[in-house]
């Protein structure tokens, strides 16, 4: 884009912003700028025609006559996107322009003042992607409406340009599965995958010049192992139909994965009920184990939870559980498999110790966070009178 076209557009945008369409329509390259020898050469009729077309589009847009998916809409968005990029590059008549050029242009045209007006005009007139600011200087875009890539890309470019000028650090785009067609265009504009769920993919673009400090995707999966013992010193155990224990004959505690937004205590109660039909009351966390690369590349946190049974009639889950029973705790601990694997034998020892001696685990105590949410703090309450 030549300097003459840039200045012409600045004037048109400034006048149009203030509703002075008659004055905007009189802006031509010869009116002011062609008196300046530095930019006299590019002042051709073709440039004037371009300016008039641009003004026509702007005027039609203000009157609501430009369709949101029409050719004129895309042309206008592309033009404004280019103007935004140039504004960003030129800055306050400094970047990319020599001192002589700035001085000569400034003698006929208050470029710094009108560039500020132009910025305001652009912010008012350019349609940007709807987004909300996060707490860390970023923008989150949650797209819901159907959109083709031809309409999406100009909007995205214009939005990125403005957000860069505003000093935003990162832009997140949440694309529902219905808008999977926009993944490739977004990637071509610098976005990368961050995480995905069954119904959407989250992309992110670090647009700041500072060091990228984006958080990685979730590093751990959280699971529970449920130690449930009745008054007869029998523990609730199952044999699984699938997974690494399928067909091994190993009796193990009910286990499962904590759902998104679910408390550990509630997950333990739910998993026991689903697999065995037994109602329970959560008591405490006895131990936890961390292992790496357990689920694809993710690490695993397994919490060994003690629960008190409230019912005793087993109704096993047919889809996942081969068998379920109440087994004497000593018999459970004496399984050959337990003796061969110290991680399992250690858990068995913890549970035996809890059943026979003074062993204090971590009980869930409700607390309120700084944001007002209710959460649970797990700690040993045995020797504490008040926390």
Instruction: Give a three-class secondary structure readout of 228-256.
Output: EECCCCEEEEEEECCCCCCCCCCCECCEE
SS (H, E, C) the chain: CCHHHHHHHHHHHHHHHCCCHHHHHCCCCCCCHHHCCCCCCCCCHHHHHHHHHHHHHHHHHHCCCCCCCCHHHHHHHHHHHHHHHHHHHHCCCCCCCCHHHHHHHHHHCCHHHHHHHHHHHHHHHCCCCCEEECCCCEEEEECCCCCCHHHHHHHHHHHHHHHHHCCCCEEEEEEEHHHHHHHHHHHHCCCEEEEEECCEEEEEEECCCCCCCCCCCCCEEEEEEEEEECCCCEEEEEEECCCCCCCCCCCECCEEECCCCCCHHHHHHHHHHHHHCCCEEEEEEEEEEEEEEEECCEEEEEEEEEEEECCCCCCCCCCCEEEEEEEEHHHHHCCHHHHHCHHHHHHHHHHHHHHHCCCCCEEEEEEECCCCCEEEEEECCCCCCCC
Of residues 112 and 156, more confidently modeled: 156
Same fold, 131-206 and 220-379: no
- pLDDT of 69 above 60: no
Q: Report pLDDT for 211.
A: 93
> Do 100 and 136 contact (CB within 8 A), yes or no?
no
Mean pLDDT of 242-251: 91
Q: Report pLDDT for 71.
A: 56
Distance, CA of 123 to CA of 219 (rounded, Å): 39
Distance, CA of 167 to CA of 345 (rounded, Å): 55
Least confident of 31-45, 184-198, 200-214, 277-291: 31-45
β partners of residue 307:
228, 282
Query: Backbone dihedral region of 148: left (phi > 0), alpha (psi from -120 to 50 degrees) or beta?
Result: beta
- Please state whether beta strands 234-240 and 321-328 pair in parallel, antiparallel, or not at all (unpaired): antiparallel
- pLDDT of 23 above 60: no
- pLDDT of 264 above 90: yes
Q: Delimit the domains of the chain by residue range.
A: 3-125, 131-206, 220-379
The structure's pTM equals 0.64
- pLDDT of 114 above 50: no
Q: Report pLDDT for 265.
A: 96
Least confident of 82-96, 174-188, 318-332: 82-96
Confidence class of residue 9 from pLDDT cuts 50, 70 and 90?
A: low
Mean pLDDT of 77-84: 49
Residue 331 designated active-site: no
pLDDT, one tens digit per residue, over 270-314 is: 999 999 999 999 999 999 999 998 888 889 999 999 999 999 999
> Tokens for 210?
């500072």
Residue 151: how many CB atoms within 10 A of its CB?
A: 18
Confidence class of residue 74 from pLDDT cuts 50, 70 and 90?
A: low
Tell me how far CA of residue 63 lies from CA of 125, 130, 137, 296, in angstroms.
12, 22, 34, 55
- Please state whether beta strands 374-379 and 363-368 pair in parallel, antiparallel, or not at all (unpaired): antiparallel
Residue 288: how many CB atoms within 10 A of its CB?
A: 17
CATH number of the 131-206 domain: 3.40.630.30
- pLDDT of 147 above 80: yes
Mean pLDDT of 237-244: 93
Domain covering 220-379 assigned CATH 3.40.47.10 in the classification: no
Confidence class of residue 166 from pLDDT cuts 50, 70 and 90?
A: confident
- pLDDT of 329 above 80: yes
- Distance separating the N- and C-terminal Cα atoms of the chain: 67
Q: Report pLDDT for 95.
A: 27
Distance, CA of 78 to CA of 74 (rounded, Å): 6
- pLDDT of 333 above 70: yes
- pLDDT of 51 above 80: no
* Percent of the chain surpassing pLDDT 90: 41
Q: Which of 221, 368, 373 is nearest to 301 (CA)?
A: 221
- pLDDT of 11 above 80: no
Of residues 19 and 130, more confidently modeled: 130
Which of 50, 262, 274, 322 is an active site residue? 274
| Mean pLDDT for all residues in the chain | 76
- pLDDT of 129 above 80: yes
* Percent of the chain surpassing pLDDT 70: 66
- pLDDT of 221 above 80: yes
Backbone angles phi, psi at 212, to 5 degrees: -60, 120
């Amino acid at each position: 884009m030549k300097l003459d076209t840039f200045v012409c557009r600045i004037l048109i945008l400034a006048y149009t912003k203030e509703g002075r369409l008659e004055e905007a329509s009189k802006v031509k390259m010869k009116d002011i700028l062609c008196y300046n020898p530095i930019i006299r050469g590019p002042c051709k009729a073709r440039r004037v025609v371009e300016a008039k077309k641009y003004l026509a589009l702007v005027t039609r847009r203000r009157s609501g006559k430009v369709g949101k998916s029409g050719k004129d809409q895309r042309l206008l968005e592309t033009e404004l996107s280019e103007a935004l990029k140039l504004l960003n590059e030129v800055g306050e008549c400094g970047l990319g322009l020599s001192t002589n050029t700035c001085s000569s242009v400034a003698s006929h045209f208050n470029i710094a003042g009108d560039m500020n007006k132009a910025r305001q005009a652009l912010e008012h007139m350019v349609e940007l992607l709807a987004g909300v600011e996060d707490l860390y200087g970023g923008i989150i875009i949650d797209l819901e409406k159907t959109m083709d890539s031809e309409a999406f890309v100009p909007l995205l470019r214009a939005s990125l340009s403005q957000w860069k000028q505003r000093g935003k650090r990162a832009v997140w785009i949440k694309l529902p599965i219905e808008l999977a067609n926009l993944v490739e265009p977004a990637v071509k504009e610098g976005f990368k995958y961050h995480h995905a769920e069954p119904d959407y993919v989250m992309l992110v673009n670090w647009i700041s010049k500072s060091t990228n400090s984006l958080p990685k995707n979730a590093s751990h999966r959280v699971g529970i192992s449920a130690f449930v013992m009745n008054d007869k010193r029998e523990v609730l155990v199952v044999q699984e139909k699938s997974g690494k224990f399928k067909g091994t004959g190993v009796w193990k505690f009910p286990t499962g994965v904590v759902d998104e937004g679910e408390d550990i205590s509630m997950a333990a109660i739910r998993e026991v009920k689903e697999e065995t039909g037994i109602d329970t009351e959560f008591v405490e966390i006895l131990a936890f184990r961390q292992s790496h690369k357990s689920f694809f590349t993710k690490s695993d946190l397994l919490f060994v939870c003690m629960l008190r049974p409230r019912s005793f009639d087993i109704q096993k889950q047919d889809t996942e559980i081969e068998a379920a029973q109440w087994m004497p705790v000593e018999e459970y601990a004496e399984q050959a498999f337990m003796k061969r694997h110290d991680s399992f034998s250690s858990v068995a020892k913890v549970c035996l110790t809890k059943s026979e001696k003074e062993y204090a685990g971590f009980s869930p105590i409700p607390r309120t966070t700084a944001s007002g949410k209710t959460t649970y703090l797990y700690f040993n309450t045995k020797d504490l009178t008040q926390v």
